[in-house]
Structure 1
Amino acid sequence: MAGRQPTVEDVARVAGVSRQTVSNVLNTPHIVRAATRDRVEAAIAELGYAPSMAARRLRTRRSHTIGIHLDPYAGGISGIVLDRFIHALTDRATPRGLRILVYAASSAGEEIDRIRQLREGGEIDRVVLTGTYEGDPRTEWLAENDMPFVAFGRPWGEPGAGALMGDPSRPWVDVDGAAGTRAATLHALAEGDRVAFLGWPPGSGTGDDRERGWREATGWIEATPPDLRWTSVDTVVKARAVAERALAETEVDAVVCASDTLALGAHLAASHGGRPDLVVVGFDNTPVAEALGISSVEQRPEQVAEAVLDLLVDDPASDGGTWHRLIEPELVVRSRDDL
C-alpha cells in the first residue's frame, strides 16, 4: 500500500467487514458490537488509516473534535499526570476518528468564552474538562447549552457527587483517591501503627478524598491523633519544613502523602533528620518518585482517557452503564535498595 493513503475499503478488507460497518465504527460506534468494533479499530491502527475530517464535517456538520484546556506551565513534580492524560487522550481518539484541540484560558469565565467561540466556529463539538472544583460554573454552562462534555474529576461540592452519578448532563471520570491512599496506608502499616498523613489544607475535594483513605485504613475516622495529621501546601520546600518539625516532635513509623511533591519533602526531611530509611509513600507515581525509590500511587491516566472517550462517544445508558467512572489506582511499591 506504499505510495497511497489507506482507505475505508482497505480497513474493511483487513477487518473482514463491510465498508458500512467501518463507517458505523467511525461515526456511530455504539451501534456496533464490541468484538467487531475492536477488530475494525485494530485494522485502523495497523493500516494507519486517518479519516478525512474535512469530508466528515461536510457530511455530518460536526467537527468530531474534542476541546481540552491546556493548563499554563507551573513547573513542579505532579503536573506530569495531566500531560500523560492529554497524550493518552490524543492517542486513543485517533482510532475513533476524533481529534484533539487544546486551548488556553486564564479563568473559568474566559474558558467558557473560548469554548463558545470554538463551538460557534465549528472547531469543536465536545469538551473534556479538567481541574473541576466546588461551584465550577463550566459544568453548569456546558449542561445548559447542550454541549457534550466529560469532566476529568468529580463535581466536588455539588449536591452530593453520588447524586450526580446517574445524571447524563454532568458525566465525569475520576481516580479513586481514597482507594489509593488506603492501599498506601495498609502497606505502610507493616512498619508499625503510627502512620502519619502529610496532606493539603482541608477543603479540597481531591485532598480530602485522599485523606479519607488514610483514615479508613488506620481506623481514625472520627478522632485523629493531632501529631499524625500534617498539613502543607504542595511545594517541596514547605513540605520539607513541615515534616522536619513533625519528625523532631513525634515518633512515626511511616508517612503517607497526598502527592509526590509532598513525599519528596518528607523524604528529604527524614534523610536530613537521620532517618533515610523511613517509609514514605507518595501519590502520582512521577519520575521523581521512581528515581528516588519512593513508593507511590499510580493514577493510570491512560485508563482515565479511555473511560472519558467511552462516555463522550457512547451512550452508557444503552447497555445499563452509568454516567460516571471511578478508576482504581495502583500502588507501586519500591525500595531504595533496588536503586
Structure 2
Amino acid sequence: MGAQPTVSDVAGVAGVSRQTVSNVLNAPELVRPETRERVQAAIHSLGYRPHASARRLRTQKSSTIGIRLDPITQDGISGSILDRFLHALTEQADRQGLRMLLFTADGPEGEIEQFRRLSDAADVDAFVLTSTFHGDPRTEWLIENGQSFVTFGRPWGIDDMTDPEHLWVDVDGRAGVRDATLHLLSRGARRIGFLGWPSGSGTGDDRRAGWREAMRQGSGLSEEELRLLDIAAEDAVPFGAEAVRRLELQAGPLDGLVCASDSLALGALTATGGRIPVIGYDDTPVAASLGFSSVAQQLDEVAAGVLELLTGTHGGRVRRGDDVADPRHRLVAPRLVVRDSPALFGGGAASERSVSSNRMSKNS
C-alpha cells in the first residue's frame, strides 16, 4: 500500500500553501470560496484524509498529549532538567483535566514513527517536543500531517522569532548566561572564561552569545583575548574538567568561569579545585547539593506556556493570515541562583540568593 497523501501533496495539486490547506480543513471561513473549492477538489482527487485526532484538542473533545520520554543521560545531571519539565507539565495538565501519554524512541526518525502510530490510532490529540535542533525533521512531519504541537525549544535555524511554522516556548538562555557573567564582573572578575558546547547547537550557541555580550560590555578585553577564553566540550563531567585544563593553558589564569550546563560546571570545579568562582546552568539538584551557583530555568512557567498554546486560542497550530491576537511564543526569563560557599571543597552550608527578575515575554 502506498504512502498516505499529506498536506504538502494537497497543497502542490491545488497550487496553494500548506497553511491554506490547513485553513480549508480547520477554518474554511478564512479562505476565499474559489480557493476553497480548488483545495477541496485536490483533497477529493488524492483521497487525503485528515486525522480527526489532530483537531480534537482545539474543540476540547479529548484530553491526551503525547511526549517522548528522553533517555537517561550518561552522567544523570543535565538530563534531570527534562525530567523536571515533564513533572511540571504533567502536574499542570492534570489540574486542567488533561492526560499525558509517554513514549520512547531511538532518535528523531524513531520519534516520527511514534507520531505516526499514535496519530493513526487516535491515541493523542497533540504532541509536545523537547530538545529542538537545526533542521529538526520532527516538526516538518507534524506540520505536513496537520498535527497540533508545541515545542519546548525554539525552531533553531529558521526565522524563529517572528513568523515560524509552529508554536514554541523557550527559556532565554542568552539572558541567563549574560546575567551570570555580569554578576562575576560586578564582583571584580575580569578574565572570565566560557565553557560551552561545540558550535552548531542552537541552545549552546545562544548561551555563548550571552557570555560574549556581557564580556564585550564589561571586561575591557580584546576580541582576541575573548577568543582565547572560549572553549567547548561535550556535555559530561570528565570532558568539562579536561577542557578547563586546556583553557588555562591557552588563556592563562582565570578569574572565573561560566558554563553551559551543570555537568560542565562540575567538571570545571574538579579541575580548578575551587580556586575560582564557577557558575553552571540548569540549577540541577547537583548544583544545589554541592553549593555552586547556577542559572535556573523556570520550568513551571515553561509548562504553563506550553499548555496555553495547546489549549488556548491557537490550539497547537499556527494559522498564517489569521487575526488571532494571542502571541505564538513564550520566552521565559531564567533566574540566577547565587551560592557563595561551594561544599565540594570543604565549604560550609552555602548561602543562596536569586539574582535577576521574573518575567515571561510573549512574541507574536
- What TM-score does the superposition give when structure 1 sets the normalisation length? 0.76
In structure 1, what is the equivalent of residue 72 of structure 2? 73
Which digits, 9 at most, give the CA deviation of each residue in 1:218-262, with x for residues without a partner? 117993523211211111111101112323550111100000011
CA distance in 2 between counterparts of 1:232 and 1:150 reads 30
CA distance in 2 between counterparts of 1:211 and 1:267 reads 19
In structure 1, what is the equivalent of residue 246 of structure 2? 245
> In terms of mean alpha carbon deviation, does 62-71 or 85-94 score higher?
62-71
- Assess, with a 3 A threshold, how the Cα gap between structure 1 residues 246 and 109 changes in structure 2: closer, same or farther: closer
- Assess, with a 3 A threshold, how the Cα gap between structure 1 residues 248 and 134 changes in structure 2: closer, same or farther: closer
CA distance in 1 between counterparts of 2:192 and 2:208 reads 12
CA distance in 2 between counterparts of 1:246 and 1:107 reads 33
In structure 1, what is the equivalent of residue 360 of structure 2? none
CA distance in 2 between counterparts of 1:233 and 1:300 reads 24
Could you tell me whether the CA contact under 8 Å between 2:74 and 2:236 is conserved in 1? no
- Assess, with a 3 A threshold, how the Cα gap between structure 1 residues 117 and 206 changes in structure 2: closer, same or farther: same
- Assess, with a 3 A threshold, how the Cα gap between structure 1 residues 90 and 318 changes in structure 2: closer, same or farther: farther
Report the number of matched residues: 273
Q: Which amino acid aligns with 1:258?
A: A
CA distance in 1 between counterparts of 2:249 and 2:212 reads 23
> In terms of mean alpha carbon deviation, does 110-119 or 290-299 score higher?
110-119
Could you tell me whether the CA contact under 8 Å between 1:63 and 1:122 is conserved in 2? no
In structure 2, what is the equivalent of residue 214 of structure 1? 211
- Assess, with a 3 A threshold, how the Cα gap between structure 1 residues 246 and 108 changes in structure 2: closer, same or farther: closer
Do structure 1's residue 152 and structure 2's residue 163 form an aligned pair? no
CA distance in 2 between counterparts of 1:292 and 1:282 reads 12
Per-residue deviation at 1:133? 1.0
Alignment of 1:43-58 (within 5 A): none
Per-residue deviation at 1:61? 9.2
Q: Which amino acid aligns with 2:129?
A: L
The structure carrying a bigger helix percent of its residues is 1
Gaps of 5+ in 2: 1-55, 315-321, 342-347, 351-364
Could you tell me whether the CA contact under 8 Å between 1:62 and 1:122 is conserved in 2? no
In structure 2, what is the equivalent of residue 178 of structure 1? 174
CA distance in 2 between counterparts of 1:123 and 1:315 reads 23
In structure 2, what is the equivalent of residue 88 of structure 1? 88
Do structure 1's residue 327 and structure 2's residue 326 form an aligned pair? no
| Root-mean-square deviation (Å) | 2.1
Could you tell me whether the CA contact under 8 Å between 1:177 and 1:210 is conserved in 2? yes
1:338 to 336, 349, 363: 349
Identity %: 48
Gaps of 5+ in 1: 1-56
Which digits, 9 at most, give the CA deviation of each residue in 1:35-82, with x for residues without a partner? xxxxxxxxxxxxxxxxxxxxxx9xx79431000011122232111110
1:261 to 246, 249, 263: 263
- Assess, with a 3 A threshold, how the Cα gap between structure 1 residues 283 and 112 changes in structure 2: closer, same or farther: same
In structure 1, what is the equivalent of residue 294 of structure 2? 296
CA distance in 2 between counterparts of 1:181 and 1:320 reads 31
